[in-house]
Every structure is written in C-alpha cells, then in structure tokens.
Amino acid sequence: MAHRPRSEMIAETRAKLLAAARQAFGTVGYADASMDDFTAAAGLTRGALYHHFGDKKGLLQAVIAEIDAEMNERLCTISGRAPNRWQGFVDESVAYIEMALEPEIQRIMLRDGPAVLGDPAQWPNANACISSMTRSLARLKADGAVADIDPEAAARLISGASLYAAQWIANSDDPEATSKKAVAAFKAMLEGFLVR
Amino acid sequence: MAHRPRSEMIAETRAKLLAAARQAFGTVGYADASMDDFTAAAGLTRGALYHHFGDKKGLLQAVIAEIDAEMNERLCTISGRAPNRWQGFVDESVAYIEMALEPEIQRIMLRDGPAVLGDPAQWPNANACISSMTRSLARLKADGAVADIDPEAAARLISGASLYAAQWIANSDDPEATSKKAVAAFKAMLEGFLVR
DNA sequence: ATAATTGCATACGGATCGTATGTCAATTAA
DNA sequence: TTAATTGACATACGATCCGTATGCAATTAT
C-alpha cells in the first residue's frame, strides 16, 4: 500500500488539470484561458500541463473527449427508454438540442472546438454522438421507417440544425418560447426523412 | 482635383488592409494570423490597422461584413431566377451549402467568426442571409406552401444543417459523391416543412 | 501663413505560449 | 540496504504578439 499512492497521485493531478481547464475553457473560452492562471488555481504549474497533455491543443482535445463521452452516455440512455425506434430517435435529437443549450457544451464543443481543432467529424475521439445517430438512422432505414437517404448525411444535417437551434434559443430574450418554436420546427423537419 | 486623391488614398489603404486581413484570416485562420505579418504584406503597419478598425476583432467584423454582403447578393440572384417561390427557396438553400464549401467562407464565417464574435445571429451586419431566408419562408407560409411553423426557426435549422453538411463534404475523401448524398438528404429534409 | 487636424509609423510594455533545464521523490537493481 | 534510474513536476528563458502611447508629416482650416 505504498506503491499505489504514486499512480493515484498522478491520476489525481491529471484529473485536477483537466477539471481546471474544462472550467476555464467553458467560461472564458479557449483563447482567453491563461494556462498560468488555471494551473495555479489547481495548485500546479504549466510544467505539469505540458508533461501530461503536450500543449494547449492537446489539453483541449482531452477536455473534449471527456465531454463527448458524457454526452454520448446521456443520449444513449434517453433513446434507450423510448417505446419505439423512431420515437427514440426523435427524443434523442431533441435532447441534443437541449444539451446544446448548456453554455459549457456550446462554448467548448460547438464553438472553440471546431475553431481550434477543425471539423468535428475528424476528431479522433469525439464523434460518438454522430456515429450513434448514424447507426440509429441506419436501423430505422432497415426497418423501412425512413426513406432512402444516406444515414450519415441525415445525421450531420440534424446535428447541424440542432446546434444552430440551440444557439438561437440560448441567445434569445425568451428561451422558453423560442425553444418551443424551435422544437416544433425541428420535429416537422425530421418528418421529412420519413417514408411518405 | 487635389482633395480627391487624399480621400482616395485613405479608402485605398482601408481596402488594402481589408483584403490582406481577409486573405490571412481565410488561410491560416484568425488566431494564427499575425497583424504584423499581413500589414507588412500590404505595405503598411499595425498603426494603420488600429486607426481604421480599432482592434483585431473590429477587423474581423469588417471582413465578415464584406463577405456576408457578397453571399447575400449571390443568394438573392439565385433565388430570383427560379420558376416559383418554393423552387427558389430550395435552390437558395442548396446554394448555401455550396457556398459553405468554399474554404474562406468556412473558415471565417462558420468557424472563427462564431468562436471570436459569438452567436452569428447577434452580429450587427452579418445576418443578411438568415433574414432573407426567413422572409422567403414567411412568404411561402403565406402562400400556403409551407406548414404552420415559425419561419425564423426553420431558417436557422436550415442554415445550421447546411453548414454541417458543407463541412462534411469539404473534408470527405470524395467530395463529389458526398455532395450528392448530402444534397439528396437535404432536399428530403426540406420537404418536412411542406404542408402534407 | 500659421494653426489644427488626421492618417499612419514607431516605440514600448504586458501577457502568453512553448522549450529547455533542474530537482526531488519513488521505483528498481544490485 | 544502498545505489542508480526513471519520471513527475517546477523554474527559467526566449520568442511572439497584441494594444497603447507617442511622434511625424501632410492636408485642411483660419
């Protein structure tokens, strides 16, 4: 019980750095987050950061991977408890809009992430959401519920629409009312994918 | 004819700065564009920049306003030469995807712009595209072509979907094939807004 | 003709990032 | 048990970049 604490300490500092960075990125944004500041807030220095994550971009990637895993898990449980596949898919998509309302997700995943790391589709770890949505659509297509369209194409259209809808809602004067309008339009739009 | 050259020179330096910045922002991106570098490339210094645009963000705003005006004009002419309103709207939306394929638009308008200046809907000058799309949808709704949904909500969903579709296409191995899949799915999606 | 304004350049300070180096504790080897 | 080595993290340094403050020269106004 003397050689465990060592590796635990390491994991702990890594976790502390990740949490501090996530907090900073999520509030002031990537560009204005000073590595000196938030490492000091975690009781560490930039030395630890460069040791664990390589550089500032590497740190952002790690933060994104963490958030993406959380998002994916939430979406899976939501779509899992629906009565049928299509309803599960609609629920999942609407939930995606609602998640995109969270400031941290908006800032890190939807704004700074793409700006700093490029197209989200190319991210190594952070396409769990898209790929799970693609699989859902492929199943629905096999079931004969949705029309003959490319599942991945539809998944990307939907996630893009969700993102913009979420930004619109988040910045509106009356988020409640705006959210209702957006979700209504969104559901109508989804029905475009159904067989007629 | 001695007091014209003066104001012409001023407008010319402003234009040169704008063009140089647009070039730099569009290629290396906002964060990695050094003001010293691209002002020097224009035969000027940062002094001129701060005089005309206040700061780096102000310069980005000016570049965005310019690009947005061009985009809006292109979209208007496209939708204008369609046989009917709905077709014009579809053409315009597809054209939006195609414009989002251009690297400069993708980088400046769709990635760095939102990351640096925040929600595009709040931009002072650069919502011409959204608002024109909203007007189109409102007319279509009045004509009885589209269902009872909020025009602005639909416009935002569509532009978001276009953006993501464009990024997907631009980064794919086979842009031609991907584009076909995306546009097909996109047209199906748009039909979700029609009355049934 | 002199004074005031303005377009633009130069000079400076502050902040930040990445690297290179150092140190100390913990693990491993002898 | 002790010596050597690895590795986690801190410190020191240089380079870059932004924003402001200042300076100059040319034009316009008086």
Architecture in CATH of B1-54: Orthogonal Bundle (1.10)
For B1-45, write each residue's pLDDT tens digit.
445 577 788 999 999 999 999 999 999 999 999 999 999 999 999
Q: Provide the pLDDT confidence category of residue B145 given band limits of 50, 70 and 90.
A: very high
Chain D footprint positions (protein CB, under 7 Å):
8-12, 16-23, 27-28
Rounded CA gap, B71 and A190, in Å?
27
Architecture in CATH of B64-193: Orthogonal Bundle (1.10)
Whether A105 contacts A99, CB under 8 Å: yes
Whether A30 contacts A60, CB under 8 Å: yes
Delimiting residues of CATH 1.10.10.60 domain(s) in chain A: 1-54
Helices A128-143 and A151-171, interaxial angle, to 10°? 120
For B57-114, write each residue's pLDDT tens digit.
999 999 999 999 999 999 999 999 999 999 999 999 999 888 888 999 989 998 999 9
The pLDDT of residue A129 is: 78
CATH superfamily of this structure's domain A63-191: Tetracycline Repressor, domain 2 (1.10.357.10)
The pLDDT of residue B124 is: 75
Q: Hey, is A73 helix, strand or coil? A: helix
For A147-196, write each residue's pLDDT tens digit.
999 999 999 999 899 988 988 888 888 988 999 999 999 999 999 999 98
Q: Hey, is A146 helix, strand or coil? A: strand
For A18, A141, A195, the CA distances from A66, given in Å and listed in that order, are 9, 31, 37
Indicate whether A2 pLDDT > 50: no
A168, A169, A172, best to mutate vs chain B, most B CBs in 10 Å: A168
Is the CB atom of residue A57 positioned under 7 angstroms from any atom of strand D? Answer: no
Whether B97 contacts B186, CB under 8 Å: yes
Rounded CA gap, A170 and B134, in Å?
19
Which residue's CA is nearest to the C1' of nucleotide C27? Answer: A3
